[in-house]
Amino acid sequence: MEGPQFSTLAEANFHRAMKFDVIGMTNVTEAKLAREAEICYATIAMITDYDCWHPEHDSVTVSTIVAMLNQNASNAQNVVREAVKTMPAERKCNCGSALKHAIITDPRVIPGKTKRNLAAVLGKYLP
């Protein structure tokens, strides 16, 4: 689901019929950008609400979402704090060279201004 947005009742019932346990807003854009910048990336997904189908819960409102987001922000800070403690000094993944074979344009035809604009991300690959 592209977000942020609330599901309609029809969408919520469809998700339940498909036996989905969790409905998440997509992070594909962030994941792609991190990959292009050769940055290791992981998602922390935290629940904000029951969808509109749940008979024992109030309707989803902006105020309940914001309250849960604030609580989740604190939870996420704790997760990141603990994750950083366990990170290795050197990464052994391929994220740091994800673009090595991704540039198919002959570097000789890439304008100097473009190379300068992309230097932070592509500098090690563009002479």
**Is 49 a catalytic site residue?**
yes
**Is 51 a catalytic site residue?**
yes
- Region of 27 (left: φ > 0; alpha: ψ -120 to 50; beta: rest) is alpha
End-to-end CA distance of the chain: 40
Helix (H/G/I), strand (E/B), else coil: 16: helix
Give the span between the Cα atoms of 96 and 34, in whole angstroms: 10
Of 21, 49, 58, 106, the catalytic one is 49
Of 21, 51, 58, 106, the catalytic one is 51
Give the residue numbers annotated as catalytic, written as ranges: 49, 51
